[in-house]
Amino acid sequence: MVASLIPTEDEVMLRDAARGFLQESSPVTAFRANRDAGRTHDPALWKEMAQMGWTGVLLPEDAGGSEMGHRAAGILSEEMGEVLAASPFISTAVMAATALRGAANDRLAGIADGSSIYAIAVDEGPKHAPARTGMTAEKSGNAFKLSGRKVFVADGASANRVLVLARTGGSVGEAEGLTLFDIDADRAGLTRNAKHTVDERDHAQLDFDAVEATGDDVVGEVDGGMAALHTALNAGQAALSAELLGVSAGAFGMTTGYLKERKQFGRTIGSFQALQHRAAHLFAEIEITSSAIANAGRMMDEDAENADIAVSIAKARATQTAKLAVSEGVQMHGGIGMTDEFDMGFFMKRARVGAEWLGDYGYHAARVAAARGF
Amino acid sequence: MSSFSDDLDQFRSEVSAFIAEKCPQKLKDMPSSERSICWGGKRFTFSCDEQRIWMENAAAVGLTAPRWPTEYGGAGLNRAQEKVFREEMAKAKAPSPLESFGLWMLGPALLAFGTHEQKLKYLPDITNGRIRWCQGYSEPGAGSDLASVQTRAEDKGDHWVVNGSKIWTSYADKADWIFALVRTDKDAPKHKGISFMLIDMEAEGVSTKPIKLISGTSVFCETFFDNVVVPKTDEEGNSRIVGELNRGWDVAKHLLTHEREMIGGGGSGAASGVLGGRSLGAFIDTLDETIMDDPVVRSQTMELEIDTLAMSMTMERYKDMAKQGGVGHASAMLKYSGTELNKRRYELLMSITGSEGVEWDGEHGSLAPEWLRTKANSIEGGTSEVMLDILSKRVLELPSS
Ligand SMILES: Cc1cc2nc3c(=O)[nH]c(=O)nc-3n(C[C@H](O)[C@H](O)[C@H](O)COP(=O)(O)OP(=O)(O)OC[C@H]3O[C@@H](n4cnc5c(N)ncnc54)[C@H](O)[C@@H]3O)c2cc1C
């Protein structure tokens, strides 16, 4: 168990600063503008995040980071979720930064200063399953040739670097025999196809056709890719859970606001007990999920080796809470909730994509069950 | 006008011969889609000449409105004959010759509440597809509380002047006329000051604006009335109000019950959308073979399947009950359970298709927009909360607060 789930003074300050900045620079209207312009994220916003040090939240100081930790990264993600700020934060500043901790400082510096955008290419099927990696990395001397397809790669089209998991040994279904590579996104033989997903963010399919990599591109050990990636995935899952908590809070805030304002039958609809109780129930769900989020961040900071269960409780809860918050959000708004002119649909779409990315409810429920011995 | 035999066997052979001869083969071979629906109306473009021919052929014998009396353009069939007609249509794969809000809603309202002269004037234009109607009920401020409509019609002697706006008017941008609930007495209690008014969409001051949904473009519009002049009576002396002045709520209520039963049908797993005619199991067979290895997904799928099958039994049972004398307010149960089930079905489909399902137009076609569209099922035609309210108050007779 962790020390305390209450935020520290620094964390409170970080949240306030993040909220102030995002409300100013990236309100939901900015997301809408990006969507209408066909832009999956705003590079100017990413630059500003880098200037404020968000990109270095998990990086050591000598690499240009602030090393505020995973709980802090979660707070930033949560705030971004609440206003639907789209950025490569989780892929780059959380997952790549964690996976590359041991790498040379110049690589980390690219993350810290915002010039590197990373995509993490793991999955090959419709569900998150690192062990089912079939993509091959054929060894010849000190070099490798990577062939295969990766799908649902977040930030895959806009990234300039890719962390990709490929098989150097073992067989599909085994966590052993996988190797993690850190390569340039423009490398010959790599084709990237942007997919148009409902959350209007960057998700791409990456096709590798005998893409060359060297020993220098290997992160961690050959055949030891999961060891290198495991903590990074946990970090991403924890941050994504926090984002989903933010999505829930954003939808919930709009909903309670509407309950206090909309009138039907000569009464404010928030005076109908049928709606009051559901709002109160949703509040309870959000509170419980919020503990799981704080706990996951703390565990990642204090005992990352043993954080699996904490992270999975967080992702499982956040997935369900967000789903409930957005469904109730649309339903309690009535017809207006169904219109594109109104923002609630954006929350619903992000919640759905977030439910699938980095492991759905069932994936994380199974990890919790395994950790609890059943 | 038509003269079909009253003898059912005789009728069956007559009507099947009619369909064989009068419905062009091309239509029978056409897959059904939004494009294949014949809506009629002045501004309608037929998807092909055969579509027009079939509509006209059917209308000539009243078969665009099988149950309506022949004098108003219907075929005057009884319930048993209508059933036979539908069976023969299905057997021949003949598409419906005409669909419209006129046939579904205005017609039934006129038949129940209109004068003989109003019926003579408006119904044949509906059955022969000349005029396309849209429905003007909901307003931005009047949704669940429909009786609080604020669009007002001011009495100016020989005409009304209508001001206000309607929302969720389907196909308003394509319709020729609108039947609308308007306030004709602003001092009366809210249910007692509404009239059911017929308004020409070409009248000056009527405009429409399409509504985009979270699932994409839609058939819905906002409709605005800006000092629209509506004559109290037309050249033939017919009133532009159906039923009594200020008693439009009775007409509206009559139709709402009807609408509810139609929407509830979606929950019985009706073959539409991404599943098409396939069972859930057949759809799952097309997916990643490990998908059902997840016990959570498997358990949700089994539960959904059980509920879907039980729901379709319920639909059948209620249909039979309806024939034997009606189900009354319990129809709210069908609407509530059917739509909530359909939402669950689509959540499951999204879950089992994983990252493939979240694409706007990916491997599973229109799954994502269909999923988003289902979220309105429990809002349109009366929200789930309103249905539960009806059940608690009218069926269970629980005390109101
Ligand atoms: C896709 C779509 C299609 C539609 N098609 C049509 C159409 O063809 N014709 C037409 O006229 N209208 C149509 N509508 C409008 C629809 O009938 C209304 O949206 C619906 O009645 C709800 O009204 P509202 O949107 O104003 O929500 P509100 O009435 O403002 O409801 C907001 C929330 O409050 C709840 N609520 C309201 N009253 C109570 C209560 N007493 N107790 C508990 N909860 C309550 C509601 O259930 C809802 O959750 C359509 C709507 C949609 C989204």
Check whether residue A89 and residue A174 sit in a common domain. Answer: no
| Yes or no, beta carbons of A349 and B143 under 8 Å apart | no
Let me know if A357 is exposed, middle or buried by CB neighbors in 10 A (0-12, 13-18, 19+): buried
CATH of the domain at A76: 1.10.540.10
Q: How confident is the model at residue A141 (pLDDT cuts 50, 70, 90)?
A: confident
Q: Hey, which CATH number is domain B8-99, 3.40.190.10, 1.10.540.10, 3.60.20.10, 1.20.1250.20?
A: 1.10.540.10
Chain A residues 200-229 with CB within 8 Å of chain B: 203
* Average pLDDT over chain B, rounded to an integer: 93
Q: Say if residue A69 is in the same domain as residue A109.
A: yes
Residue written as token pair 């990413």: A46
What burial class does residue A330 get, using C-beta atoms within 10 Å of its C-beta: 0-12 exposed, 13-18 middle, 19+ buried? buried
Q: Which A residues in the span 154-193 are in contact with B, Cβ-Cβ below 8 Å?
A: none
CATH at residue A159 = 2.40.110.10
In A155-254, which ranges are E strands?
A: 161-167, 178-184, 190-196, 202-214, 218-219
Range of lowest pLDDT (A145-159, A175-189, B77-91): B77-91
Is A358 a domain residue? yes
pLDDT at B324 (0 to 100): 85
Assess whether A363 and A350 both reside in one domain.
yes
Same fold, B8-99 and B132-246: no
Q: Which helix (H) or strand (E) holds B397?
A: none
Q: Looking at residue B289, what is its pLDDT?
A: 93
Asked if the model's pLDDT at residue B261 lies above 60, the reply is: no
A190, A208 contact by CB (below 8 A): yes
**Residue numbers in B near A272 (CB within 8 A):** 385
Tokens 């008693």 belong to residue: B247
Kindly report the CATH class assigned to B132-246: mainly beta
**Closest ligand 1 atom, CA of B136?**
11
Specify whether A341 is located in the same domain as A231.
yes
pLDDT tens digits, B217-235: 999 999 999 999 999 999 8
Burial of B258 (0-12, 13-18, 19+ CB in 10 A): middle
Say if residue A340's pLDDT is above 90: yes
Tens-digit pLDDT profile for residues B294-324: 999 999 999 999 999 999 999 999 988 887 8
Inter-CA distances, B334 with A107, B98, B244, B254, B317, Å: 61, 27, 31, 17, 11
Stretch B208-214: mean pLDDT, rounded?
A: 98
Look at residue B34 in the predicted model and tell me its pLDDT. 78
Compute the distance between CA of residue A83 and CA of residue A237 in angstroms, rounded to an integer. Answer: 19
Shared domain for A342 and A361, answered yes or no, is yes
pTM higher than the cut 0.90: yes
Quickly list H helices, B265-330.
Answer: 280-285, 295-323
Per-residue pLDDT for A158 more than 50? yes
Q: In this predicted model, what pLDDT tens digit does every residue of B92-117 receive, in sequence order?
A: 999 999 999 999 999 999 999 999 99
**B359 contacts A197? CB cut-off 8 A:** yes
For B12, the token pair is: 């069956």
Best of B217, B375, B380, B387 to substitute, by most chain A Cβ atoms within 10 angstroms, is: B375
Instruction: Please name the member of B297, B379, B388 whose beta carbon is closest to the beta carbon of A335.
Output: B379
Please check whether residue A3 lies inside any domain of the structure. Answer: no
Arch. (CATH architecture) of B267-395? Up-down Bundle (1.20)
Rounded (5°) CA angle B100-B104-B108 = 130
A357 has a chain B CB within 8 A of its CB = yes
In whole angstroms, give the CA distance from residue A167 to residue A133: 7
Indicate whether A204 pLDDT > 50: yes
Q: Is residue A301 part of a domain?
A: yes
pLDDT at B133 (0 to 100): 97
* Cα A251 from Cα B213, distance rounded (Å): 17
According to DSSP, the residues that pair with A148 across neighbouring strands are A208
**In the annotation, is B303 catalytic?**
no
Q: Is residue A186 part of a domain?
A: yes
Taking residues B33-48, what's their average pLDDT? 91
- Last residue of some domain: A101, A117, A133? A117
Chain B contact for A268 (CB, 8 A cutoff): no
Same domain, A234 and A319: yes
Distance CA B225, CA B163 (A): 5
CA distance B175 to chain A (A): 22
Greater model confidence, A103 or B200: B200
Q: What is the pLDDT of residue A5?
A: 94
Would you put residue A59 in left (φ > 0), alpha (ψ -120 to 50) or beta?
Answer: beta
pLDDT above 90 for B166: yes
B239-257 tens-digit pLDDT: 999 999 999 999 998 887 6
- Interface check A339 vs B, CB under 8 A: yes
The distance in angstroms from the start CA to the end CA of chain B is 55
Average pLDDT over residues A155-166: 98
Tokens of B26: 């091309």
Per-residue 3-state assignment (H helix, E strand, C coil) for A265-283? CCEEHHHCHHHHHHHHHHH
| Interval A93-139: pLDDT, tens | 999 999 999 888 888 999 999 999 999 999 999 999 999 999 999 99
Residue B1, pLDDT score = 42
- Residue-level pLDDT at B94: 95
pLDDT in tens, A24-44: 999 999 999 999 999 999 999
Q: Is B222 in the pocket of ligand 1 (CB under 6 A)?
A: no
Please pick, among B259, B261, B340, B370, the residue that the annotation labels catalytic.
B259
Return d(Cα A189, Cα A56) in angstroms, integer.
31
Please tell me the predicted confidence (pLDDT) of residue B269: 41
Number of structural domains in chain A? 3
Considering only CA atoms, which residue is closest to atom 18 of ligand 1?
B143
Q: What is the CATH number of the domain that holds A291?
A: 1.20.140.10
**Over 80: is that where the pLDDT of B259 sits?**
no
- Each residue of B84-93: pLDDT tens digit? 999 999 999 9
DSSP of B34-66, one letter per residue?
A: GGG----STTPPPSSHHHHHHHHHHHHTTTTST
First to last CA, chain A: 21
In whole angstroms, how far apart are CA B188 and each of A323, B136, B397? 44, 21, 28
Q: State which of A275, A333, A348 you would mutate to test the pocket of ligand 1, scoring each by most atoms of that ligand within 8 A of its C-beta.
A: A275
In chain A, residues with a C-beta closer than 8 Å to the C-beta of B379 are: 330-331, 334-335, 337-338
Containing structural domain, residue A47: 9-117
Mean pLDDT (whole number) for A227-250? 97
Map out the domains of chain B as residue ranges.
8-99, 132-246, 267-395
A268, A362: one domain: yes
Distance CA A126, CA A237 (A): 17
Q: Give the mutation target among B173, B223, B379 for probing the ligand 1 site: most ligand atoms within 8 A of CB.
A: B379
* The residue to which tokens 């998908």 are assigned: B291
Q: Which residues contact B297 (CB under 8 A, 6 or more apart)?
A: A362, B291, B348, B351, B352
Min Cα–Cα distance to chain B from A361, Å: 8
User: Average pLDDT for residues A321-327, to the nearest whole number?
Assistant: 98
Q: DSSP assignment of B243-277, as one string?
A: SSTTBHHHHHHHHHHHHHHHHHGGGGT-S-GGGTT
- How many beta-carbon pairs under 8 angstroms link A with B? 124
| pLDDT for B270 | 44
The pLDDT assigned to B262 comes to 56
Residue type, B264: G
Burial class (CB in 10 A: 0-12, 13-18, 19+), A204: buried
Q: Which of A38, A197, A156, A35 is nearest to B364 (CA)?
A: A197
Q: Tell me: do A155 and A88 sit in the same domain.
A: no
B101 in Cβ contact with B131 (< 8 Å): no
pLDDT of residue B2: 54
Last residue of a domain, one of A169, A198, A223: A223
ipTM entry: 0.97
The answer on A213 and A272 residing in a single domain is no
pLDDT above 90: percentage of residues in chain B: 85
- From A62, A95, A117, the end of a domain falls on A117
For residue B267, pLDDT beyond 70? no
Do A269 and A141 belong together in one domain?
Answer: no
CA distances A84 to A349, A359, B74, Å, are: 11, 20, 55
CA–chain centroid gap for A155, Å, is 11
Same domain, A45 and A108: yes
